[in-house]
Structure 1
Amino acid sequence: MPDTRVHRTACEVSVPAPAGVLYGLIADATVWPLFFPPCLHVEQLDFDGTRERLRMWALAGDRISSWVSRRHLDIGQRRVRFRQELPARPIESMTGVWSVHPAGDVCRVRLEHAFTVTGDAPADVAWAARVTRDNSRAQLDSLARLAQRWTRLDDLAVTFEDTVRVKAPAELVFDFLYRAADWPEDLAYTRPLAVREDTPGIQTLTLDGRSATGTRAVRIAFPSAGRLVHKHLHTSGPLAAYTGEWSIESHPAGVDVSVRHHILLSDDAAAGGQDAARRLRDELARTGRHVLEHATRHACGAVRVL
């Protein structure tokens, strides 16, 4: 039987930004969901300062794919090598490397992939090559935009959260948050128009688009950990990107339910000053608190019934 053919792709971009900034954005994969459009969520499984294992979820064309990657970070060479342990079909194997090359006033960033496809069917190879190139280009373009704003990134990327304590089982709170399609009418502004769950624990939400959070979102559930993460797609206006997480932590007196927001402000929002950013933050925080209030009433009401 002949060896499986190795297919290769390579994309690069030149950026007028410091090499250290570019390498830092590549090395910290936990921020990729906010910064890179195709990336939905990243869980860091192991890290010893040089080598790490990541569980990643990303858009792959019209699919949602998930895999485990091993990465080797070489800060001296400004290079990150990676290998997928458990690729998503039809990918059979995937390796690659990020590299940053200073060149005068700019840096050249290169992203290379080498992959094999199960059965090497032409349609599967074409799909894998197209998705790999498209995602690589999207990541590099976003990296270039962010790196050129590196002196303002602390102002553009904002995180905030709210927490309430509930005297009810964590399972009841999680059940309410998870079943977004069943949220009551007075959450109509937040409740999705439709929820699709082709893979257990991964939901695609269709939204009404009345706010900057867009018309589509993806949620990934971790029931045993009491966590539900999300990323909103096609954000607009002042919101360049938006991710977040619902989390539930048990205590002897009940459970703490938190909603955490991660936002990336657009240039227009940043140009509008602190007032524009505050209005956006207040709107998202108000929406999150509204859902928290309903989750609390649902869980406490269910306890009284029981």
Structure 2
Amino acid sequence: MPASRRRDVEHQAKIQAPAALAYQLIANVTTWSWIFPTTVHAERLAGDDAADRVGVWTTTDGTINHWVALRRLDPRALRVSYRQETARPPVADMGGTWIFEPRGDRECLVRLQHDYQALDDDRDTLAWIEEVLDRLSTDELAAFQAGAELASARPQRLLTFTESVVTGGSTGDVYGFLRDMRKWVELVPDLVHVEVRHDVEDVQVVRTETLTGHGRHASEVVRVCRPGAIAYRHLVVPPLATVHTGEWRVTSGSDGTVATARHTVVFDEEGIPTVLGAGADLEEARRFAQRELGAGSVAVLNAARAHLG
């Protein structure tokens, strides 16, 4: 049976952010993990700022998905179009376009267009695709609006920083230590439990428990293990944050193997006093997060250095 006819659908949102800023947040896929709640990791696999190939890993209801898209980027027209390399049944082909139309200096209209073909014209299947696409597009636009408006009006709520340690051992040895979190328990101070719940095709789901100055903290993290780097997203975050993502990256340096930890945190200003006490503000939360997360990362990297010699 031939594929059904091509269908087009569009969703829109007016957001309080400059169109050029909004465009950059979609063009630069490294922002997606803190903007979109289901995105664990996104990276440019090949290409440049005119056309590229990107890989995206997402998690929804315990299911981890990976897809690859080919994109064309037009910063002058403020458009990013894409097409999935391989669509998943019952969809035969899926593509889309993000369009950013200025509405003054601090506002824009975001148009999210999709075009798709189903494998056939089954009425129930078409209705299901339409419902899912409508729900996902609505959620995606809402998340993007929140992220773009944060980046425009309240960028202090976003914190990104790195910590690096020069270690012994080869890049492969250091990467192997960072990948196998079960090795951390006996070597990393205050880490009391690690449970690897999923480890298939370089995607892991790991549950940990850590002793902190604020008690015992349980967390669950999804990790995408790529050559030389491990990207992750915490599924459980303390009340002072809404997002915590990060990356371990291993490179060769002039003095030895360099292991770098990167953290990105989006703060929840209403939740800050819950953790830090009444009167605590955003600046205090930023200092606290960088101190605590930085110390934790350095502890892991020092454990790698001690373990590998």
Q: Name the TM tier (shorter chain).
A: 0.7 to 0.9
Q: Deviations over 1:142-178 (max 9, x none)?
A: 2222333344454222221111112222332222211
Does structure 1 residue 285 correspond to structure 2 residue 294? yes
| Partner of residue 142, structure 1 | 143
Match of 1:110 in 2: 111
TM-score (structure 1 length as normaliser): 0.82
Percentage of matched positions with identical amino acids = 28
Give 1:218 shift: 0.9
Q: Shift in Å at residue 226 of structure 1?
A: 2.1
1:221 to 2:230 alignment? no
- 1:63-122, CA deviations, whole angstroms, 9 ceiling, x for partnerless residues? 222122111223333222111123456643210111223457853322222334557778
1:199 — aligned with what? 200
Say whether the 8 Å CA contact 1:214–1:236 is kept in structure 2.
no
Cα distance, 1:117–1:177 mapped onto 2, change above 3 Å? farther
1:2-17 to structure 2, matched below 5 A, reads: 2-6=2-6, 9-17=9-17
CA contact (8 A) 2:14 2:109 kept: yes
The 1-side partners of 2:130 and 2:269 are apart by 33
Q: Is residue 239–residue 265 contact of structure 1 (8 Å, CA) maintained in 2?
A: yes
Structure 1 runs not aligned, ≥5 long:
301-306
Aligned counterpart in structure 2 of residue 235 of structure 1, from 234, 237, 247 = 237
Question: Could you say if the C-alpha distance between residues 180 and 95 of structure 1 is closer, same or farther in structure 2, counting changes exceeding 3 Å?
Answer: same
How big is each residue's C-alpha offset from its partner over 1:214-248, in whole Å with a ceiling of 9 and x where there is no partner? 743110112xx321111112434222211111111
Contact 1:69–1:85 (CA<8 Å) still a contact in 2? yes
Higher helix share: 1
Does structure 1 conserve the Cα–Cα contact (< 8 Å) formed by 2:246 and 2:263? yes
The change in CA–CA distance for 1:296 and 1:98 in structure 2 (over 3 A counts) is same
- Greater displacement, 239-248 / 19-28: 19-28
3-state secondary structure, aligned to 2:49: coil
Contact 2:72–2:82 (Cα < 8 Å) also in 1: yes
Aligned to 2:276: none
Give yes or no for contact 1:11–1:112 (8 Å, CA) kept in 2: yes
Aligned to 1:303: none
Match of 1:304 in 2: none
Cα pair distance change 1:233/1:214, threshold 3 Å: farther
Answer yes or no: is the 8 Å Cα contact 1:164–1:292 preserved in 2: yes
TM-score, normalised relative to structure 2: 0.81
| Structure 2 Cα separation of the partners of residues 25 and 150 of structure 1 | 9
2:281 is aligned to: 272
Q: What SS class does the counterpart of residue 159 from structure 1 fall into?
A: strand
Do the aligned residues in 1 keep the contact of 2:39 with 2:58 (CA within 8 Å)?
yes
Conserved 8 A contact 1:60-1:131:
no
Partners in 2 of 1:188 and 1:137 — Cα distance? 43
